[in-house]
Structure 1
Amino acid sequence: MRLKQPFLKLPIRFDADALAAEARALPPSAWTPHPTGFVGNEAVRLVTPAGEDSDNIEGPMAATDSLNRCHYVRQIMAEIGGVWGRSRFMGLAPGREVPPHIDIHYYWRTHLRIHIPVITNPGVLFTCGDETVHMAAGECWVFNSFLRHDVQNKGDAQRIHLVLDTVGGGILPELMRAAEKGGTEPRLLAPGARSGQSLVFERVNSPKVMSPWEMRCHLAFIREQAGTDPKIVESLDRVESFIDAWAANWARFGTEVEGRAVYEGLLKDIRASLTKLEVSSLEMPNEVFLGRILEQLIFQMALAHPDSRVAKSEAPVAHPEPEEKATGSVILSGSAKAFRPADREPYRNRFDRPLFVVSTPRSGSTLLYETFVKAPGLFATGDESHRLIENVPGLAPPQRGWLSNQLVAHDATPERAERLAEGFYRQLKDRDGRRPTGRVRMVEKTPKNALRVPFFDAIWPDAEFIYLYRDARETLYSMMEAWHSGGFRTYPGLPGWPDGTWSLLLVPGWQQLKRMQIPEIVAHQWAITTEVLLDDLERLGEGRVQAIDYGTFLGSPQSEMERLAAAVGLGWDRKLGDTLPLSKTTVSKPDRQKWRRLAHVIEAVWPIVEQADERARQFLADRRVPIRAAA
């Protein structure tokens, strides 16, 4: 859905104190890191596919247990009356931001995002296009997500917004028309003024086979923003011809499975044709690359993945409404059943020599991962997999007595292994955004995996591991910076930890660290992780572990990527500059000498890490494959 202006403040308002009380009443475990990995961003999932603990945006939507605890939130949603998609409480830590971006995913062509500030401060600024606003607590806003936008929290307290996605419906169009005209005084919906039952959730949000009429709608939208560059115009004319061919086959097959091979062939042909026109390098006036928006709006969504519920036309799971007493209290009368695909080849067998990047926290693994995923033939989830892994029953620390993030071979039961493999496989995409259709090479990077090598080895005995070493002094500085930032808190409700500030991975023996200061905690965190990781890697067979030095990688990214790719049996066809872009988890401006600002602090804790660092350096020297041997 599109707006004619960057922002609209709707003439309706809500009780921010009542909303804040509901947000604060949710357990700490309900808050999860933002799926993009933006530092300091976290969320509580309120509406998700099937009501499950997921950040996906495709599939029939339902209320989560968290939403069913929030009576006033449900009343707000019922009052607006929209057909609801993914919705969340979204938190932004002080001093953090949502970086500038444009929402071009298919989902956003049909959805509006409603923002209702719950807890805010004057330093929270929302910029969209050329406008910047501060949204006051209890107000109700919508904005144009097709313009470049960002959020800054320059205050000293966390910002929390209620963020509701909808395709429209109810009184929303009326509110938007009134906002455009102006002059309407916002009315208050007080808590308890109406029922929060009978919410309507979207059941269809992606096509089994996209119709040619929908394709033409998306193409017209892209043409509006494309400008007059002759190369862009030529590329879009090619897409027009592709849609004509699609329409002919749509008339023949419609959405029937018999047409799948024909549709796949058309997609393959148009992608090849546009590659010759170098469409991936053509930039539109809004600074979005043409190839990317065509993939997001048309090609990736033109044909549902054969394993998806949409492709198999399976009915969504029904969810019971919570029972609402006269007092407004909510009784949870049921919970969602997890969807399970029909029997077919086990997901764990669809992986060929999966690759795991392992290192101590803050060692540069995000930058290595973001660079390495550009290798041809490699698939990745596109983000760290904290929730994906810990959502598997029995793998999250709260279900293991809060021992640590360490997982070993006997934790890899067949049921857990298959569920985890399915979770990975369903989120994989290659560098061009294509989803897998058969066996794949996957690269996975989640910092906690440094404590899980035997676990992944038990699931995939052919897995290979890439050990990344970064100078320990630089890493200790970066880890201390992460702890102090507050943006890397992984378990704010950790029982027995003094102030709920535990950050980064949970190491074995963490209980012994609670009386220490951050420099000592960090040093032990680094040393314990290194010793566990090296013990596990040394038990693996020859050729299953490659090593890379972060400093060498920064200095010679091209040759290091060529070396590493060859060592694990992949090609490398990208030209990298001398300087790599910043990773999305960067806290402060990179400087290899930053650690010297805390040299006296680091030297004081150096005896804690010294032996482990000597071992790590030797391991790096022994396992780093020379360029000539990898060629």
Structure 2
Amino acid sequence: MNRAAFSRLPVTVDLPLLLQALAAIGEDEWRGHFNSAFYAGDWSGVALISAADALTELSPGLGQPLLRAPWQRDGRWQQGLCELPLEIVSARLLRLGPGGQIHEHRDYDLGEPDADLRLHIPLLSPVHVDFFLDGQRMPMAAGECWFLDLSRPHRVDNRDCSARVHLVLDCRPGAWLQQAIIEGLATTPAPPVAEGALLQFQRLVAGDLQLSQALQGLTDSEVFIARTLALAAERGLVFSREELRAAMRNGRRQWNEQWNA
């Protein structure tokens, strides 16, 4: 079955109620994400529901879903989601702090035929947070509910001065949810097409022989990245090291895929 890369579900959640529940979470309850090699800065979470056999409460598992303490003591979580008839197997609050980055990666397990479907509900969604899926910036707003196929390449940059917090639900692919994903496609906002700083710099390089030659001779990837960032900054174009790395990986992937078509 070919599933959409993303869809904003035509549903509502009680955002004010969920924000009240979020405010009741103590700072000491947040735990660093288990994929420590995949991020820089603060990427932490609080498990609301997770597998009974998970190594940590934030980790995946195969056991029965277990209601964790924050969910059990605060009925506002369940009440805020009462309009969504979902079979939830995992519910986590995931926070990306100011300046934090989640490096590009793929959650391959979500691409299996009978895999759970992952929903993102932004609770705190600062304007300068960029969530890229397959190279497209997802225009998610607080209180919305999005299905995202995260078996595809994705990354997040928080360039804001405040934290981003999403409620992330892993759900069984029931009939209601799959239909909601299909119905949501018609009203899902298109990713913005504004040309970013990296693309602007790529266009400059393509049209400037001297600039192109300054980079072509660099065979060490770290030297290439440092020089690219410096040359771009000299021209008033600022993008992150991870954004450049993602573009380089995507270029290699497209080069390889052309021979497998």
Q: Can you list the C-alpha shifts for 1:23-70, whole angstroms capped at 9, x where unaligned? A: 120122221000111331000001112287522322111211111233
Q: Please, what TM-score do these two structures have when normalized by structure 2?
A: 0.64
* RCO higher in structure (CA 8 A, sep ≥6): 2
Q: Are residues 1:58 and 2:57 paired?
A: no
2:110/2:116 contact within 8 Å kept: no
- The aligned residue for residue 246 of structure 2 is none
Q: Are residues 1:3 and 2:7 paired?
A: no
Q: Please, what TM-score do these two structures have when normalized by structure 1?
A: 0.28
Q: Are residues 1:90 and 2:89 paired?
A: no
5 Å-filtered alignment, 1:443-454, equals: none
1:17/1:118 contact within 8 Å kept: no
More strand by share: 2
Distance 2:61 2:80 in 1: 22
2:122/2:140 contact within 8 Å kept: yes
1:22/1:70 contact within 8 Å kept: yes
Return the letter of the residue paired with 2:139. Answer: H
Deviation at 1:103, TM superposition (A): 1.3
Q: Can you list the C-alpha shifts for 1:210-234, whole angstroms capped at 9, x where unaligned? A: xxxxxxxxxxxxxxxxxxxxxxxxx
Q: Are residues 1:163 and 2:163 paired?
A: no
Q: Which moved further from structure 2: 168-177 or 93-102?
A: 168-177
1:11/1:178 contact within 8 Å kept: yes
Return the letter of the residue paired with 2:33. Answer: H
Deviation at 1:580, TM superposition (A): 10
Q: Can you list the C-alpha shifts for 1:266-305, whole angstroms capped at 9, x where unaligned? A: xxxxxxxxxxxxxxxxxxxxxxxxxxxxxxxxxxxxxxxx
Return the letter of the residue paired with 2:141. Answer: A
5 Å-filtered alignment, 1:580-591, equals: none
Return the letter of the residue paired with 1:74. Answer: Q
Distance 1:106 1:135 in 2: 20
Q: Are residues 1:177 and 2:174 paired?
A: no
- The aligned residue for residue 16 of structure 2 is 17
Deviation at 1:77, TM superposition (A): 4.3
- The aligned residue for residue 75 of structure 1 is 79
- The aligned residue for residue 48 of structure 2 is 46
2:107 to 86, 99, 103: 103
Q: What SS class does the counterpart of residue 180 from structure 1 fall into?
A: helix
In structure 2, do the counterparts of structure 1 residues 57 and 23 end up closer, same or farther at CA, with 3 Å as the change threshold?
A: same
- The aligned residue for residue 112 of structure 1 is 117
1:108/1:145 contact within 8 Å kept: no
In structure 2, do the counterparts of structure 1 residues 51 and 30 end up closer, same or farther at CA, with 3 Å as the change threshold?
A: farther
Alignment size in residue pairs: 186
In structure 2, do the counterparts of structure 1 residues 56 and 10 end up closer, same or farther at CA, with 3 Å as the change threshold?
A: closer
Distance 1:20 1:182 in 2: 25
More helix by share: 1
Q: What SS class does the counterpart of residue 47 from structure 1 fall into?
A: strand
1:80/1:170 contact within 8 Å kept: no
Q: Give the gaps of 5 or more residues in structure 1.
A: 184-578, 582-588, 590-631
Identity rate of aligned residues, in percent? 25
Q: Can you list the C-alpha shifts for 1:197-219, whole angstroms capped at 9, x where unaligned? A: xxxxxxxxxxxxxxxxxxxxxxx
Distance 1:86 1:22 in 2: 17
Q: Can you list the C-alpha shifts for 1:365-409, whole angstroms capped at 9, x where unaligned? A: xxxxxxxxxxxxxxxxxxxxxxxxxxxxxxxxxxxxxxxxxxxxx
2:14/2:81 contact within 8 Å kept: no
Return the letter of the residue paired with 1:146. Answer: S
Distance 2:43 2:112 in 1: 20
Q: What SS class does the counterpart of residue 12 from structure 2 fall into?
A: strand
Distance 2:187 2:122 in 1: 21
In structure 2, do the counterparts of structure 1 residues 71 and 59 end up closer, same or farther at CA, with 3 Å as the change threshold?
A: same
Bigger Rg over Cα: 1
- The aligned residue for residue 154 of structure 1 is 159
5 Å-filtered alignment, 1:469-508, equals: none
5 Å-filtered alignment, 1:98-497, equals: 98-105=102-109, 109=113, 110-169=115-174, 171-182=176-187
Q: Can you list the C-alpha shifts for 1:78-104, whole angstroms capped at 9, x where unaligned? A: 432222222200000011121111111
Return the letter of the residue paired with 1:61. Answer: P
In structure 2, do the counterparts of structure 1 residues 118 and 170 end up closer, same or farther at CA, with 3 Å as the change threshold?
A: farther
Deviation at 1:156, TM superposition (A): 0.7
Distance 2:182 2:82 in 1: 19
- The aligned residue for residue 230 of structure 2 is none
Deviation at 1:154, TM superposition (A): 1.3
2:120/2:169 contact within 8 Å kept: yes
User: What is the Cα-based RMSD across aligned positions, in Å?
Assistant: 2.6
1:117/1:140 contact within 8 Å kept: yes
Distance 1:2 1:76 in 2: 31
2:90/2:170 contact within 8 Å kept: yes
Distance 1:107 1:147 in 2: 8
Q: Can you list the C-alpha shifts for 1:439-482, whole angstroms capped at 9, x where unaligned? A: xxxxxxxxxxxxxxxxxxxxxxxxxxxxxxxxxxxxxxxxxxxx
